[in-house]
Structure formats: structure tokens, C-alpha cells
Amino acid sequence: MRIGKAIVLLSLGILIDTGLLYWYVTAHGFSAREKPNKMEAFLARNARKLATPSDAKALQNPLSPTPLTIAEARDHFADHCALCHANTGSGDTMINTGLYPPAPDMRKEETQQLSDGELFYIIKNGIRFTGMPGWGGEDEENWKLVLFIRHLPELTKEELALMKEVNGLEEHGGPQEPHSSQQAHAH
């Protein structure tokens, strides 16, 4: 009898939660123009964590961040990623203002704390129900992009100028200003 009561209570809880979700969406809408609330952001982060296989999370980047690999990844990022993520990684782009959920500021802790394997998996496979497509591509190119994402917080003004040569995008700067080359070499 206890199992039957537990099933009834669980079913009732699911029914109530579904009703509350339906009420919330119909009463408030579900516009891509609104900033996700804290609950939506929490659910999205945890859904992304669940969607990434544990063996992918454990992957280590086989490449080293040499000046050449960073430069190659910088040009690839400028050509393929900056339209949504901005040259700085801030996500401060016209396209991103209409994405829901928006692309994150990749310089911040929420992205930088992801493992190399998680970043690689996201680049290669995308994130469902977002604007992030699964690019597939060559593994070596994707690993180079992981290196560049790690490099974004230290991006120099000179590197931004090189990226602008590739894509012609004007930068809004975002919440953090890029380092000058003297500041970047001091780290």
C-alpha cells in the first residue's frame, strides 16, 4: 500500500508542477526578448550539465597554448564564432540580443570553470534549444577553440585589431576592456 500512496503523491506533485508551469507561461509569455530569470538560468545550466556525457567532461586538451595555436584559433573564432559571441567573447552583439537564452560572456567564471572536455563537447555538438549549433568539424580545430576560449580574458587590443581584419566587426567592449599588450605580457 505504501508504494501505491507514493505513486499517487508523486503523480499529484507532477500534475501540480505542470499546472504551475502552464499557468506561468500563459500568464507571462515566453519571449526571447526578455532576460532569463534566475530559475530559468539555473535550469538551463543544469540541463547543459546533464546533457554532457561524463566521459566528455573528463577529456583533456591535447594541444598546448602556443602563439601559433592561439593565433589560428583567434582567426577561426573571428570568422565563425564572433558574430554571436563578439570578438571579445562578451556576447555583446546584435544577434545575441535576440537569442534566448543569450550566448554567455565567455570570459566569465560560468564558462571559464567548465572543463576542457565540456567546452570541446559544446563546440562540437552544440546545445539543444539554444542558438548554439553543433559545428562538428575537425577535433584539432575544436581543441584550438577551447584554448582560445581560455585565452579570452587576456585578449589584447592588438589581437582585437587582427580579429577585426578577419571579420570587420566593431566591438562594443562588453563589461571588461581588453588588455594592452604590456598588461597581457605582465601576467
157 burial level (CB within 10 Å; 0-12, 13-18, 19+): middle
**Which amino acid is it at 39?**
M
Q: Which residues contact 132 (CB under 8 A, 6 or more apart)?
A: 103, 122, 126
**Which amino acid is it at 20?**
L
Name the packing angle between helices 139-151 and 67-80 (round to 10°): 100
pLDDT, residue 182, reads 43
pLDDT, residue 174, reads 40
Element at 28 (helix H, strand E): helix 2-28
Name the packing angle between helices 67-80 and 157-167 (round to 10°): 50
pLDDT, residue 131, reads 86
The rounded distance, in Å, linking the Cα atoms of 179 and 157 is 6
pLDDT, residue 105, reads 96
Question: Residue 97, by phi and psi: left (phi above 0), alpha (psi -120 to 50) or beta?
Answer: alpha
Q: What is the pLDDT along the chain (187 residues), one digit of tens a residue?
A: 688 888 888 888 898 988 877 787 677 666 666 777 787 778 777 777 777 899 999 999 999 999 999 999 999 999 999 999 999 999 999 998 888 888 999 999 999 999 999 999 999 999 888 889 999 999 999 999 999 999 999 999 999 999 999 999 876 544 344 444 444 444 3
Assess whether the previous peptide bond of 101 is cis (omega < 30° from 0): yes
Domain ranges of the chain: 53-186
Asked if residues 131 and 98 have their Cβ atoms less than 8 Å apart, the reply is no
Closest CA to 146 of 93, 76, 99: 76
Q: In degrees, to the nearest 5, what angle opens at C-alpha 99 toward C-alphas 97 and 101? A: 115
Closest CA to 68 of 135, 170, 171, 151: 151
Closest CA to 171 of 162, 160, 180: 160
- Assign domain 53-186 to a CATH class: mainly alpha
